[in-house]
Amino acid sequence: MPAFAVRLARLGGWLLLALAAVVASAVLFLGLIALTDGAGSGLAAFVPTLAVGVAVALWRSQRRTRAARLLPFLPVLAAAALTASVCVPASPTARQYPPDLPFVTTEHWNLATGSRVAVYHYPPAAAAGARHPVPLVYINGGPVRGISLLDHGFLQRLARQGYDVYTYEQAGGGRSDLLPMDQYSVTRSVRDLGAFLDRLGRGEADVLGFSSGGVALTRALADPEVSARMHRAIIAEPGPMDGPTARIAGQKGRPSARDLAPAMSGPRSTNTPRYAAAFGLMRLGLLSPETGLVGQAEGENAFTAADLGTDTASAYCASDAHRIPVENSAENFAFNPAASLKVEETVKDSPSLVPQLKLSRVPAMLMIAECSSQVRQWETAVLDADPAIQRTQYMPGVGHHLWNGLDGNDERAAAVITAFLQDAPAPLPNYPTREEIPAFLRDHK
């Protein structure tokens, strides 16, 4: 074999060994990140990883000529640069709140629970016909997420129809103040709702809860102290209401646009090694929401709408895959991944809600989407357990985001909601009823 080929083969072998050393260091580092829960912004994993790499390089350098002794340290330097990027914040570590919206005043209310939340009020429009004396309170999904511009637009629609609409961003989301991580829970969400209704001071209120907001509302209906402040309740596309429900691996609705829609455009925090590691390991359950790797303020600052990936598309029907509307602006978008995960964990760890929910007496309505991305049994479990649900509205041609600006979806959703609040005949059939749950699950696979 020619000398040149020999040297080339040796170089190739060395490069493979160097790459293997870098990969091994990265795997060790990520393992230690998980083991230490990201302590010290990852330094508790970085220092021993670097020490092991240096020790191995020193051992390997002893068998080399003087001129080649530095070669084993090159993979160590490469691995150190890669892993160090996970330890250095790339976004502000103090919370950067979205700017105020130009079309509604942002108020901040201090609740009796200790939460300080951003509040938005849409009074009934002057041109509206009959005004409704009972205020309507909206709880958005997330669970710890800012209210989207799409949702604000829908609330304005309800106000134009004579409703006195209030909404607030739950503690830790949007323009609301953060909580210590150990204070986030679905129980806190319910207590905050009760405290908000108290602070509102208008007597009983109608409450509309969407997605995880529907979960908080469902659990509030099972709490006699909070439900005593409610006039009527609308549970729209709820997630799992308790631990037993969360463990159901059931079916979903008609196909969504999840795997059909084009990838979301815009910057992604997960293109940065620090946040790719933090959010990825959190999602896999290898980092806790209280991780020391990325604080909740930094995580919320870093997280972008594009980081939601296919989650946004899953809220639309497959037929809408190539016309999914822009739900929000980059300036208004806010999502607290760590706090959201913490709230979801408290739902999964909670006992059955059925015994308490069976005692509910607040007139309620359940809204279910045809192309729902929620497990069907999450929704039918609420219907089965709550004897005060008076009607169910199965919404055709729409996904999880029931009001989305497409076709007549906003008008249809508003018609369903307002008819129930006025105790008027439902615009859609009452379907499914409790007796129809088995057939509904069988027929809507």
The pLDDT of residue 74: 80
The mean pLDDT of 171-197, rounded to a whole number, is 98
Give the least confident one: 50-64, 152-166, 327-341. Answer: 50-64
Overall pTM surpassing 0.85 (yes/no) = yes
The pLDDT of residue 131: 83
Task: Write out 297-317 in H/E/C secondary structure.
Answer: HHHHHHCCHHHHCHHHHCCCE
**Cβ atoms of residues 164 and 131 within 8 Å:** yes
Alpha carbon of 289 to those of 2, 283, 286, 294, 302: distances in Å? 58, 10, 10, 9, 15
Residue 80 — pLDDT band, cuts 50, 70, 90? confident
The pLDDT of residue 66: 64
Give the least confident one: 68-77, 395-404, 432-441. Answer: 68-77
Residue 13 — pLDDT band, cuts 50, 70, 90? low
What lies within 8 Å, CB to CB, of 204 at 6+ separation is: 134, 229, 230, 231
Does the pLDDT of residue 385 top 90, yes or no?
A: yes
The pLDDT of residue 164: 97
Alpha carbon of 440 to those of 141, 256, 387, 401, 444: distances in Å? 25, 18, 18, 21, 6
**Averaged pLDDT of the chain:** 92
pLDDT tens sequence across 346-355? 999 999 999 9
* Placement of tokens 């809204």 in the chain: 367
**Cβ atoms of residues 226 and 190 within 8 Å:** yes
301: left (phi over 0), alpha (psi -120 to 50) or beta: alpha
The interaxial angle of helices 273-283 and 3-36, nearest 10 deg, is 50
pLDDT tens sequence across 200-215? 999 999 999 999 999 9
Task: Report the C-alpha gap between 7 and 181 in whole angstroms.
Answer: 56
